[in-house]
Chains A and B, each alone.
Chain A
Amino acid sequence: MTAVPHPHTHDHGHDHGHDHGHGSGAAPRSDLESLRRVWAIAGPLRGKIARGIAFRFLQSMALGLSFGVVVWVVAGLADGRPMTTDWAWRATGLMALSLLGQLLFAYLSTCEVWIASYQVAGALRLSMLDHLRRLPMGFHLARHKGDTVTVLTTDMQMVEVFFADALPRIAQALGLPLVVFAVLLLRDWVVALATASSVVAAVPVFLWSSRRLSLLGIRRQDAQAEAGGRMIEFVQGIAVIRAFNRVASGQEGFRAALEELRDISVRMVVTLIVPIVAIAVIVMLGAPLTIWVAGQRHFAGDLPAGTLITTLVLLFSMYAPLLALIGVMESTRIADASLTRMDRIMTAKPLPEPTAPHTPFGFAVRFDGVGFGYAPDKPVLRDVSFTVPERSMTAIVGPSGSGKSTILNLLPRFWDVTAGAVTIGGVDLRRLSGERLNALITVVFQDVTLFAGTIFDNIAFGRPGADLAAVEAAARAAQAHDFISALPDGYRTRVGEGGAALSGGERQRVSIARAILKDAPIVLLDEATAAIDPTNERAIQAALARLVADKTLIVVAHKLSTIRAADQILVLEDGAIVERGRHEALLEAGGLYARLWNHRTRAAGWRIAGEQPVGETA
């Protein structure tokens, strides 16, 4: 009986939504190549999995035993031997043995392979997590966070399914046909070759179509990602769509994407069915061929009746299991796609650590002819040189996109420079141990992440082993003690996912307390541009003042008061420093800085419904 292969077009429940770069990255591979790749990642658990596969093979052999009994009995009966109870007993006993063998080996195989597959996935997850934290921050910033999560969860599940289910099924699908082929080969090699010929003929079609399918799969994933992206846009923009009364036209954007998804899906299935059915048909054509060959040889006197009957009875045990392989190859392809996404993480290189780390002399920061670009052909910083003396304050200003934040990102080695060098205390960052560098620098980000845990945990994160008194002192300095104490559980209030909801300003202050507790000698600050309510803003400003007192401070500055107080202002344009100096001198020079400054003062004094711009009020 032929098992009908499912021409699945895609893996159900697998979200490829964010994996945009996929189309270009993944070359279509044949299933055999994929199989080799997936097998390689099983690592130390390969032995366990191999045992499981061997048991599955034995299970198939035990089933083969029952077909052996059938052949033996039928051939005997065809020879005219009378049926005796003794014979029936023996056949029954052998069948019971076959059944027991099948159950036993199925059990053993499942035990080995399932447990091993969970362990493979678990081990892969752990090694990926460990690898991720060693990667430069730039890797994380350049990637969609959802992609990485998908690889760690859904993709690993696909790998798990492959080892638990698909791989053993290959053994099962091959076991019985091999036995049957061996039996036939012993009886009559011409007939045996006739049965095998169709299988051999199907192999090239199989390889060709599997490569083609993987290509189509990639295209469909892209269409699905596009439709998903449009849908997210639609939902995020729903208020805008409403406000502009564009319910109908808002749909147009994704209607086209959905239609494309539908069309490509249909096209894919139609393209898919033909090769899949072709493979099955070619394999199955072995049946009439064998019938015809065996019949002709029998009547030519070359094949005894017993062998003819054996051939006929065993015929479908040869082909039915092989058709199941088509379904298995689907799983292989899915697992392979998952591995490709995993590879993108695992092949990323951690930052090189110096073998003989140096010790910095003081905390002065120096950029020396620094060049940097995220992509080789698009420089973001060009020949940037400046010095920040210890405990001084440097403000970086410039139009958006001029490379201000990039300067901050190079100091904690989120990325490494492509030209020149960044030094702290006279030592190139690349010659500092990661631990030492981290101890030197605190970065205050615009967007704040608090971890699942208590407020205490979150602040103490800044200095392991800090006691409550130290945490409270830091919270006081960060203007956070009052609101924390007002919470029902005080410092033991849980925050983060599922925890208490703090306002943006409050979260900011908790994160500043963390930074104050760390007490690193160099502070990097990306001043917030978003407006928050005045009371929070004032508290944050005071908290930041406490954090940066006596530190070497580099700040991407937006506030006029910050800029004016800086010991040194660097004016950035298109990745190069175009002006530098103190506020008054720069203002007098009448260059880019003066222009920006005038813009900002004008903006700061602006009033809705005001007759004309009013000067700064403060």
Chain B
Amino acid sequence: MSDAADLPAGAERRPDYLASFRLLLRHAAGARPRLAGSVLLATLSVLCELVPVWVVWRLTVAVIDGTATAALFAQQAALALAAILAGYAALTAALAQSHIVAFQVIHDLRMALARHLARLPLGWFAGRRSGAAKALVIDEPEKLELIVAHGIPEGTSAVATWLAVSAWLFAVDWRMALASVLLTPVSFALMARAMTRTGRFVADYQRAGERMNGSIVEYLAGMPAVKIFNRGGESFAGTADAVRAYTDVETAMGRAYIPLGSGFSALVLSNIVVILPAGLWLLAAGAIDLPTLLLFVILGATYSQPLLKLFGLFQQLAQVSIASMAVADALAAPPQPDSGRRVDLPNHDVVFEGVRFGYEDGPDVLHGIDATARTGTVTALVGPSGSGKSSLAALVPRFHDVRAGRVTLGGVDVRDIGLDQLMEEIAFVFQDSLLFSGTIAENIRFGDPGATDEAVRAAARAARADGFITALPDGYATRLGGRGGVALSGGERQRIAIARAILKDAPVVLLDEATAFADPDSEAAIQEAIGALARGKTLIVVAHRLNTIADADRILVLDRGRVAESGRQEELLARDGLYARLWADYTEARALALRPDQDAPDRKPRARNACMDAAE
């Protein structure tokens, strides 16, 4: 905990307790009438629940003053029976109604979120793990169920009934009414006090929880290394410490809460211990009569209990509010600006003019790039890791927007071209070819939803994918991903991704390390596929395997966000600069055997030299 202790306490955002209601006002306005119906039904059910209590009181009084008859008992029993049936019928209707509304509201909110996410700049996703976005769309809206399905109908009905009955009791006898409600505020005050006392542990608790989580994740992630290096005991000790620290904080928090908080559960149920003595003293003084005392003893002792539901809701309100704030924040994030215009492009030259760019609030990673990729030519982006190659390529389809300068397509700033059109002009093949749950045909047709089966097959053939697809038992109808889906190798997935891009047939093609994750035996096929895709296009390639771009019309060598060199391979090699160095490393790395080959003595000295060079 020591390294965490110097974080400012309370640095976490405080929950805005009205956040859920604000969110509902904005996004669930249509649900209001049905929700109001649910509130009315819930109130009716609470009132019905009071009827049997009233019956018991009425009969008790009748027995005492001698007016009771067998018929009265039968009649009142029937009344209680009717009230119970009616009450629960109303409750069933109220809950069914409120849940249907709740799940519809949650569904609408999820769709709104998903639609909104699709329009956010990609930078928004960069700092977030996909699990977090899933939590945002699936888990966080779910928490509103508590508010919509329970909080609003049950809370409103509990408070309304409590107020009505209290008013009635006060009208009957204000002193006894006071005695009946006395412990309720006391118990809630105790609870509030206990929660304040534990408040100072909240930050510690959160940190201990995060530390434990993080430590467990790391423990599991490191399991292979732990096994290989036989160091189980050591890494276990660290994680065990984190678990124990968490238990300790929990215990400390519990101990702070218990003295006052434990009283709540006792007091909230025991109004009777105040009502009866108060009643007896008033009775002895002749201030009230026996039926009045009985009314309070029977009704006063129990009618506050529905308020407990409110308490249960309050306990979870902080969590729900934080969830609602996260949802509201996401919905408020500004979408990527879109001119929506369609522009006539005279050609498909891609030009970078004084481009500066950096991620989020980070420093610039590109410092003024000027470069041109002409229509129908191949432009390669190479450089050490972190030099900005992929960042530069991602600016063309506006996955990110420049900080200064501009990127133009056919002479028009990409920001002035509507996003729809821009995406039509560009095909992008990613390092990690992502396929979606669905059939292979659906995945290829992603490139052109209107494509015929024949066009899909033609694209697959061009991408050298038709062979392995038709060899699958279900062919193009084979399902990918999810439960029961077929697992394809990296190379096969990449060829489907390329077929998708071929079907799209866009004039500008961007390849970002498109063969990086391919298994070596698919590589030749992938390369043929790329050849088919790139024919006649403006092609921009990010590459580490330098031989693949040796024939490029223009190689752009990036170094720390600047263009270090550019030109054709021969020119660059002749210049003996960064590219020449990269090329030397590349050929060396490929030639260097893991160990000297006894049968090829010419390799031996070379390998040894390489080791020594690098060790210096």
Contacts and interface: CB of A to CB of B under 8 A. Distances in A.
B247 A118 contact: yes
Contacts of A400: 489-491, 519, 521-522
Interface stretch (B9-17, B341-349, B406-414, B608-616): B608-616
B222 interface: yes
B331 interface: no
A530 B446 contact: no
Contacts of A67: 272
B590 A561 contact: yes
Interface in A588-611: 596, 599-600, 602-610
Interface string B583-600: 101111111111111011
B96 A270 contact: yes
Nearest to A564: B597
B516 A607 contact: no
Nearest to B82: A288
User: Binding site of A, secondary structure by majority: helix, strand, loop or mixed?
Assistant: helix
Contact of A66 (B154, B273, B547): B273
Interface stretch (A3-11, A25-33, A209-217): A3-11
A542 B592 contact: yes
A496 B214 CA distance: 11
B446 A246 contact: yes
Given A9-B99, A74-B60, A604-B547, 11 more contacts: A67-B272, A122-B246, A246-B446, A266-B100, A277-B88, A287-B52, A288-B84, A561-B593, A599-B523, A600-B524, A617-B547
Contacts, number: 561
B95 A273 contact: yes
B280 A559 contact: no
B206 interface: no
B227 A438 contact: yes
A364 interface: no
A80 B500 CA distance: 93
A309 interface: yes
B551 A610 contact: yes
A533 interface: yes
Interface in A269-296: 269-270, 273-274, 277, 280-281, 284-285, 287-289, 291-292, 294-296
Contacts of A548: 594-595
Contacts of A48: none
A536 B385 contact: yes
A292 B138 contact: no
A61 interface: no
A208 to B, nearest CB: 18
Given A242-B399, A534-B546, A106 B263 contact: yes
Interface string A239-271: 111111111011101110011011001100110
Interface in B423-457: 423-424, 426-428, 430, 434, 436-438, 446-447, 449
B366 to A, nearest CB: 17
Contact of B114 (A10, A251, A273, A540): A251
Contact of A534 (B251, B316, B582, B593): B582
Contacts of B139: 13, 15, 228
Interface stretch (B21-29, B33-41, B170-178, B299-307): B299-307
Given A6-B150, A95-B277, A497-B218, A253 B437 contact: yes
15 contacts: A74-B294, A129-B239, A277-B88, A295-B72, A309-B64, A451-B235, A452-B215, A461-B231, A514-B229, A530-B517, A607-B548, A607-B550, A608-B549, A608-B552, A610-B551
Contact of B593 (A259, A316, A565, A610): A565
A138 to B, nearest CB: 11
Interface stretch (A36-44, A109-117, A330-338, A373-381): A109-117
B270 to A, nearest CB: 6
Chain A: number of interface residues, binned into ranges:
35 or more
Contact of A292 (B74, B491, B547): B74
A63 B269 contact: yes
Interface in B100-156: 100, 103-104, 106-107, 110-111, 114-115, 117-119, 122, 125, 130-131, 133-135, 137-139, 142-143, 145-146, 149-150, 154
B547 A228 contact: no
Contacts of A66: 270, 272-273, 276
Interface stretch (A183-191, A355-363, A440-448): A440-448
B280 A73 contact: yes
A532 interface: yes
A237 B63 contact: no
A611 to B, nearest CB: 8
A537 interface: yes
Q: Which 6 A-B pairs have the closest CB atoms?
A: A295-B73, A122-B247, A245-B423, A438-B230, A534-B586, A565-B593
A504 interface: yes
A313 B297 contact: yes
A152 interface: yes
A1 interface: yes
A464 interface: yes
B106 to A, nearest CB: 7
Given A91-B277, A243-B428, A542 B614 contact: yes
